[in-house]
Structure 1
């Protein structure tokens, strides 16, 4: 997976319309957001910005990521969709991260954080996915989880069980996500679930961004 070397890539995917006062140069704000999503700590991000003559707090950088409201681009028409879930810990509580990816291009299509995992919540996730992307003719790749298969069947979506092959794309993305959150021991501390989900959405946008 690309890591820090991606900082030299395009930044057009970062929308700064949320900025009300131009206290910080736009280029510095985009760099701060990139650094955070690439795995650089808030403290080190602040230090790098200071070297560029930009003096901002860790909270300011954190707020840039949150307020930018970054999400995966909508309107895709994938041939395959790999769907899976993994556990994320927030303040010592378990949450389930649902994610859908296009395995042909290793892009995340949609993700959501839920406090539990049920067929009903899976149906909500799929409904949101269908609102954002044209997946009606796609083949969904899933593991043996019964609630995933039941929700897909109820939605009239085609799926097949696949433990390897193209479905490995979602596993690779999850590994990168857990590598990125390793500084939290795969746990977000002292944050609200919505804050964690906002960061995860921003991470997905960064992961999909062109270089």
Structure 2
């Protein structure tokens, strides 16, 4: 499948007024939002766009996702396959415990 066909099939972009006057083409932004909604992290989505020749930061992709979520009634939902958790030690009643 050609890249142009993949981008055209990613999302109907004709009604997305939330993305007027952006430097990145609307089909590319829609494709990035769909990648993130499919479960990829923002950085993984950034890496895929970079492979396709689109240099945008994960922060820009974050903004695209939230701008779309604010403007459409049924935005795509991300369902991550993994969750990152940090450990930390806290003192409770004079005793150190790990969270």
TM-score range, shorter chain: 0.5 to 0.7
CA contact 1:33–1:65 (8 Å) conserved in 2: yes
Aligned counterpart, 1:180: 79
User: Where in structure 2 are the equivalents of 1:1-211 lying within 5 Å?
Assistant: 9=9, 11-12=11-12, 15-68=15-68, 69=70, 70-72=72-74, 180-184=79-83
What secondary structure sits across from 2:44 in the alignment? Answer: helix
What secondary structure sits across from 1:30 in the alignment? Answer: helix
TM-score of the two chains, using structure 2 as the length reference = 0.60
| Larger strand share, 1 or 2 | 1
CA contact 1:33–1:61 (8 Å) conserved in 2: yes
CA RMSD of aligned residues (A): 3.2
Which stretches in structure 2 are left out of the alignment for 5+ residues?
A: 1-6, 86-99
CA 1:16–1:180: 2 relative to 1, 3 Å: same
CA contact 2:10–2:27 (8 Å) conserved in 1: no
CA 1:15–1:39: 2 relative to 1, 3 Å: farther
Aligned length: 76
1:51 deviates by 1.6
Q: Which ranges of 4 or more aligned residues in structure 1 deviate by more than 4 Å?
A: 7-10
CA 1:20–1:10: 2 relative to 1, 3 Å: closer
What secondary structure sits across from 1:183 in the alignment? Answer: coil
CA contact 2:40–2:80 (8 Å) conserved in 1: no
